[in-house]
Every structure is written in C-alpha cells, then in structure tokens.
Amino acid sequence: MKAVFEHEERSFSMRDKVYAYLQQRPAGATADELLHLMFTSPGSDAELQPYLIRLLLEPDPRFVFDPHLGRWKLREYALLGQPLDDASFVVVDLETTGLTPDVGGIMEIGAARVERGRVVSCFERLVRPSKRPPPFIVHLTGIDWAMLRDQPSIAEVWPEFREFVRDAVLVAHNASFDLGYLNLASRQLTGAPLTDTHVCTLKLARRLVPEVRKRGLDTLAEFFGIRPERRHRALGDALITVEILFHLMQRAKSTGIQRVDQLLALQNEARDGRPFFCPLPRAAVEELPDSPGIYRFYDEADRLLYIGRAKDVRRRVFSYLVNAEHHSNKTLDLIRHVHRVRVERCSSELEAALLEAEEIRRAKPPYNQRFKHLPQVAYLKIGCEPGFPRVSIASRPGRQVHRLIGPLRSRQEAERLLKIWLRMYGLRTCRGRLVPSPEITPCFQGQTGLCTMPCAARIESEAYQERVAALLADLARNGEATRTHLLAERDRFVELERFEAAQRVQQELVFFERLCARFRFLGWLNSDQNFLLLLPEGHGAAIRAYLLLAGELVARAVILQPFEIEPWVLQHAQDPPRQRPRADRVEAGVIIAAWLRDRRARGGVVFRLPHPNTHWPATLGEEWRAACEQLLAAPQLVPSS
C-alpha cells in the first residue's frame, strides 16, 4: 500500500511539472518533448514514449491531446487552436497615474474589439483614480483632475469592461504593464486575474521586426506608416496597436504561423529560438531580500549551477524570469535549469563582490565564466624599461611599473586616453627589448606620427626621457598641459573650418575632464597602493575594515570597537598573511579599486598608509580610532576621503 501511495505522489509531482511547463506553451508540446522534460535519459522507443505520456496525463482533466497536431495542451488553451483570421482579439491600453501596478492608479481604459480582421467596436472610459495624476502625466496625456474627479471608480467600470472582453484574446503593447494593472484590479474585485494568456505586440515585434532596434509604439507606427492619432490617450494608443497587430500577423503568416497558439508560442520564444521557460517559482523570488548579497542557483538535483551578486538580490533574480533580449544563449540555458535559489545577505555591494569572487574560485560553478564576475577595470602603465619606457594597457596592477594611471572603466576608455597622449608625447607602446638602429623600418604608429620612433634611432634616450617626465609632470598638475593642447587643437580645426574634427576634439576634452575629476581622488591610491578602507556595517553596529598593500587585499575583518583597529592593522601590515594565492589577492584588489572608482554613497573613509617597511607615525592610530568612533556613532555623516 505504501508503494502505491508513493507511486501516486510521484505521478502528481510529474503532472504538476508538466502543467507548469505547458502554461508557458499555449501551442502545446509533443510526447518526446515532455519525456525529455521529466527524464534525463528518456530512451528512444517511438511506441513506448507516447504510451507513457498518455498513461500519465489522460487521467488528469487539466490536459487534452490534439490528435491533428500530435501535441498535449492544457484544456484552458484548447480554444487557442483557432486560425488567426477567425480569432477574436481585444486590444487594450491604459493611462495610469504612475508606473507601478496599483488598483487605484488606472485613470483611463481604451479597448478595441477585433473580429475576423476588422475593428467591430470600441470601449473608452475615464476612471477616477485614488490620487491626483502628477504634473508629468497631466502634461503627457492631457488628462487632469478636473476631468477625473466626477468619473466612476474602477469597481463601477469593471463589469462593463469585463463584458466587452468576454472570451477574446487580450492584446497590448508591452502587455506586462497593462496586464499588471488589470490583473491586480481583477484579483481585488473578483478574486481571480483577468487573464494569464495574452498577445504582446512588443514581444512579437522583437521576433518579427529585426530591422529596427527600438520597438516602442512610436517607432513601430513610423516603421509601418501608421498615423499616430490621439497619442497618449488610451483608445488612440489601442487603435495604433491594432494596426501594428495586423502588420505583425501578416509577417507571422509569411513564416507559416496560422493559429493563435502558434502566435503565442512565437511570442514566448527566447532569442535562441527555443521556448523561454524558468522552473524557478515566482513566489520563491518574491520572498527574497531587496538588499545586497550573493545568490546561488541550483538545478532539480540540487547541484550548484551559478553564483552571482547584486545590490538588490530580489530585483536581479527577477530579471532571470523575464524573456529579455539581452540574455545570452548560455544564460538562457541556465534559466531553463534553475529550480532553486539560495541567498546570502551582505553588508554592502563591495562585500558581496568579494564574497562572490571567493565562492566562484572555491566552488567553480559550471555556468560561471572565469574572470567574467570581475568588474571592468583598466590601467595605463608607464614601464621601467631602461632608456625608452613603454606605455601599455593592463587589466590589473603589476609589479614592474614606474607609474600607474587609473583605474579606468574599461579597456576602451584606456585606449581613448592613450591615443590623446600618444599625439602629445609620442611614447612607444611596442613590446620587447628595444635596440635602436637606423636600419629598422618604423611601425605604422611611428609612420603616422603617434610615436617618436626610438626603435629607428629617431630620438635620443635623454630627449625621450624628457617626454616621459613631461607626461608625469602633466599628471601631477591634473592634466593642465593636456587640457591646453586639446583646446589649441580644437581651435586650430575651427580656424581651418574642419568642424567635424573640432567636434571630435571637443568630445575628447569633455572625456579628459571627466577623467581628471576621478584622478584627483584616485591618484594617490595608484602611486603606492597602500591604504585602509573603513565602511559602516549593520547601520553603525560595526565597521568593515579592508587592508590593501601594493594593490593586494591582505586582510579584511569586522571591527566592533575603535581600539581594535590599530593592533589589527599593524599585525597584518607588518606580517601580511600569505596563505591565499596571489591571484586571489590581486582579484580582490581589482574589485576594491573598481568600487572606489565608482562609489557614490557617503559613509566610508579611506586612509593612505606608508610603505610597510618604513616607520609609521603614531598619529595614524589616533586617526583610525577617531574615524571608527564617528562611523559607529553616525555612519552616514562621515565623508568619503
């Protein structure tokens, strides 16, 4: 008897899994597809496979089999097999007081009923919202409070709108927005959502109109030659959407799509051409915290698949439930295997980034690519080569460096800055040991005037060193010489009436000014890369301390009392731990450098530290303790250094 109950329990579990799968597929699925969903190795017996699926699903009234198509469907989707030309659609648009779904936020409903390819009736009602529309919405729609205050509420309008929809398929542009409001209202008024099945013309446009990058209502209307009448009023936008729907259905028919369920299946396809499906329950995601932390994805067998981090864990994990264009093929494959998520809260984005790096290095999840989790960081390096130092781009600090410039946001940003300085100073970028000789043919960079060609003995070592010294002096004066050079270059192009070139130099000037503002803060960090970073933790209950020496994170800890900070720093600075691989410490240094580069929030403080081998003034400990006391007393009032 126990075995019978266990068998029945497994059958119900499998049926629920199939039900969740078919909810995402109005066109249904074949027996072979369902077997691959339930079993890792379903076998290849062509007769046994349909029999097993029929044995499992036939007793459950939720499922029906379409013998003409050879596909299993949900009973609620069986009517969606009708041809597109015979289907009834209701195209709807809302005007609302905001962007977040709210029952009292609907202020106008517009809808058009389409039957057999033509509009047969329209629905247009103003609705009294629970609050006045903000000025921006009034300006956009032309609907003000005077027009709304005497109108019926959504509860009064709802029965008439529901009767207008009846059994038609709902259509909207960016349907998640409009259906978010309508389903919320329906749940409050009737206890059930209005519909879970709808056509979204935005999603269809992503599949059927690859010619355009943006697929908003205005862009698609212009593309299809539709006159946008009464734009930003509900019925006007609904009628524009009707015309767009007609064009999209014609394109869909040209690809062989003839039925409503096929159109819905196309809409739910991911960018890799496969159906989009995420087994992770939405209810589980709604319970996640909206704070910084790391998240771990697991498959059905509880195997770790992926580790990620986020400032807002709930928002980030929710992004995996959306069929977005930016998902790569690998991400889509990950999404289809995620059954569970586990979260670990962190005190800050920085701590989350460091913990993520450590966990990826330890666990090596299959969907994490090496170094992909690291932030985009780049440096310009002036090397220590004798005679003719080279300038190069690096993704992390190195040891044999005369001067480090950065951190920059990306390699592209570093290349842009390097081109400016090559025009000014002509320093070499070529690798290898340099042996000047007049017989050497200069490279393309030298021939185009971006290098002084020391390889071809066109410049003496002393003169080259003067150029290096000039660049370093320019850095010390916050780019004064570079700024003067770019201004003169821009003005010269204007005098020559080469306005496009002048505009390009002006853009370089704006770019350089932005970098200078960043270098004013980060310059000393790159000169010796020894510093102490203190951040408040737990709303001032403790302090998170990070100690970096030579650009490497050698220690981090939670400090509870101000007197703990000095002995902790001295211990690790004089005898830094070496148990972790150097690559791990450098990786953490890159993460912290990027955080310092990008941080906007107040509440932390950075201290410059002397070289570990030198004498440290006793006043440093007093400064650390004073900063800790301030952070513990009022963490939001301590300015960032």
Within 10 Å of residue 233's Cβ, how many Cβ atoms? 18
Q: How far apart are CA 203 and CA 182, in angstroms?
A: 19
Q: Phi first, then psi: give them for residue 66, nearest 5 degrees.
A: -95, 105
Q: Rounded CA gap, 237 and 218, in Å?
A: 10
Question: Is 360 in a helix, a strand, or coil?
Answer: helix
On whether the CB atoms of residues 127 and 108 are closer than 8 A, the answer is yes
In a 3-state reduction of DSSP, which class is residue 74? strand
Alpha carbon separation from 552 to 198, 357, 481, 618 (Å, rounded): 53, 14, 32, 24
Backbone angles phi, psi at 583, to 5 degrees: -60, -35
Q: Which residues, 6 or more positions from 189, have their beta carbon under 8 angstroms from its beta carbon?
A: 154, 155, 158
Give the integer Cα–Cα distance in Å for 423 and 481. 13
Distances (CA, A) of 117 to 85, 88, 244, 245, 487: 6, 9, 12, 10, 62
Tokens read off for 445: 């960079």
Mode of pairing for the β-strands spanning 401-408 and 531-537: unpaired
- State the Cα–Cα distance between residues 114 and 313, nearest whole angstrom: 42
Angle in degrees, CA 122, 127, 128, rounded to 5: 170
Please identify which of the residues 232, 339, 402, 615 carries the catalytic annotation: 232
CB atoms within 10 A of CB 377: 22
- The dihedral built from the CA positions of residue 629, 534, 364 and 579, taken in this order, carries a sign that is negative
Helix (H, G, I), strand (E, B) or coil at 62: coil
Q: How far is CA 596 from CA 242, 382, 406, 534, 551, in A?
A: 50, 22, 11, 12, 13
Neighbouring CB atoms inside 10 A of 92's CB total 30
DSSP secondary structure string, 268-281?
Answer: TB-TTSSBP---S-
Angle between helices 260-267 and 201-208 (to 10 degrees): 80
| Contact in structure between 295 and 341 (CB atoms under 8 Å) | yes
**DSSP 8-state code for residue 98:** S
Burial of 398 per CB tally in 10 Å (0-12, 13-18, 19+):
middle
What are the φ/ψ torsions at residue 607 (nearest 5 degrees)?
Answer: -115, 130
Q: Give one word for 538, left, alpha or beta, with left for phi > 0 and alpha for psi -120 to 50.
A: left
For the chain, how far is it from start to end, CA to CA, in angstroms? 72
Find where tokens 């503002």 sit.
517
Cα 101 from chain centre:
22
Whether cis (ω within 30° of 0) applies to the bond prior to 612 is: no
Check: CB of residue 586 under 8 Å from CB of residue 396.
Answer: yes
Q: What are the φ/ψ torsions at residue 386 (nearest 5 degrees)? A: -70, 140
- Indicate if 615 belongs to the active site: no
- Give catalytic residues, as residue numbers: 232
